[in-house]
Amino acid sequence: MIRLIEENDPSAFEMLKLLYPYAGQAFIIGITGSPGVGKSTLIDALITQFRKLDMKVAVIAVDPTSPFSGGAILGDRLRMQRHATDEKVFIRSMASRGQKGGLSRATKDTAVVLSAMGYDIIIIETVGAGQAEFDISFLAHSIGIVSIPGTGDGIQAVKAGILEIGDIFIVNKSDRPDAETSVLELKMMLNMRRPNTLAQNSDLSLNWTPRVLKTIAQNGTGVKELADTFLSHFDFMKQNGSIVQKKIELERLYFNSLIKDLALEKTLLFIKKSNDFKDALNKIESGSMDPITCAEHVVNNLEVTRKPEPLNSSR
């Protein structure tokens, strides 16, 4: 099923529609941060904690696709292999497949499937490069940003703007020197931050105060506290009702991204079949017109003179 989603198979679309009403119960945690800060190891330790509470845990680990070959090495799982035979733990690696934002729509669809399958907690791991952090805020209920001491990540974080989306900031490998400095830096930055645009609420009591925690994922130090903090964030949102608002917001974003994908697919198909498009291509090839004028001409001439074929048959 997840495979069909990845391949953008029309039948996956139908199944998603059927599953959607059953999804929505799971608590979705996003974990992001630079490569090598220990996200996978931390998630491995988090799985252990959530399993102690007898929760069913699913992990979607996203790794980048090579822009050159289209291939990918998916190695996050390597750190979580001790949970491989636990029936109540599901780990799925996904490649970003060159989608803008790092987090492909397939990830969103997969989260729907896993949620409908009855997993209590879904953890989504992404490599925090550029836009990916923002994408995860379209998907997760609670976001953990992982950094390590001594990299100046406190400052880097402000640059990238991820301070605005994080709910819990984790300083991993905190047995290294400068851990305290990193924690302090983060706390200072957080005091200055503007409220999260997603969770922004005029009623300030509905807003969650971000936490900064220290962990050593390798030996599990601080991981229980981290798991508890994620759960208390969830409780916090449930109790004051902001989770409802958040879910509606996420649904709206999901809808928007679907519209974007589907509209693009449909329009492109439509355009490519049009005579205008073929004419323009010929003109470009013969050198009689520049690509800019041609593109403008084709799009301006877009007129839906006939009903485009339904998506599923044309894909």
Partner 1 sequence: METKKTIRVLIAKPGLDGHDKGAKIVALALRDAGMEVIYSGLHQTLEQIIQTATQETVDVIGLSIMSGAHLPISKKLIAMMKDKGLDDVYLTVGGVIPYQDIPKLKEMGVSEVFPGGTSFEKITKGINSLC
The residue ranges that bind partner 1 (CB under 8 A) are: 2-3, 6-8, 65-66, 68-75, 77-78, 81, 84-85, 90-93, 95, 97-98, 315
CB of 70 or CB of 291, closer to partner 1: 70
Q: Name the minimum Å distance from CB 65 to partner 1.
A: 8
Q: Residue type for 147, please?
A: S
**Minimum separation from the CB atom of position 249 to partner 1 (A):** 29
Query: Residues 170, 144: contact at Cβ < 8 Å?
Result: yes
- Does the CA dihedral 207-152-38-183 come out positive or negative? negative
Residue closer to partner 1 by CB (options 15, 289) is: 15
Measured from the CB atom, the residue of 92 and 173 that comes closer to partner 1 is 92
124 vs 213, beta carbon nearer partner 1: 124
53 closest CA partner among 88, 90, 82 = 88
Find the shortest distance in angstroms from Cβ 7 to partner 1.
Answer: 5
CB of 115 to partner 1, least distance (A): 16
Q: How big is the chain by its Cα radius of gyration, in Å? A: 22
Which residue lies nearer to partner 1 by CB, 98 or 241?
A: 98
Distance CA 73, CA 5 (A): 19
Minimum distance of partner 1 from residue 61's CB (angstroms): 10
- What's the first-to-final CA gap in the chain, in angstroms? 18
Nearer to partner 1, 261 or 296 (CB): 261
Structure token pair of residue 119: 């997993």
CB of 176 to partner 1, least distance (A): 25
Q: Distance (Å, rounded) from C-alpha 85 to C-alpha 207?
A: 39
Nearest distance from C-beta of residue 188 to partner 1, angstroms: 39
> 3-state SS string over 1-59?
CHHHHHCCCHHHHHHHHHHHHHCCCCEEEEEEECCCCCHHHHHHHHHHHHHHCCCCEEE
> Of 74 and 189, which has the nearer Cβ to partner 1?
74
What's the full length of the chain, in residues? 315
- The CA dihedral of 206, 240, 166, 115, to the nearest 10 degrees, is -150
> Min. distance of Cβ 217 from partner 1 in angstroms?
17
**Closer of 32 and 93 to partner 1 (Cβ):** 93
C-alpha–C-alpha distance, residues 172 and 175, integer Å: 8
- Tell me which residue of 192, 177, 218 sits closest to 41, measured CA to CA: 218
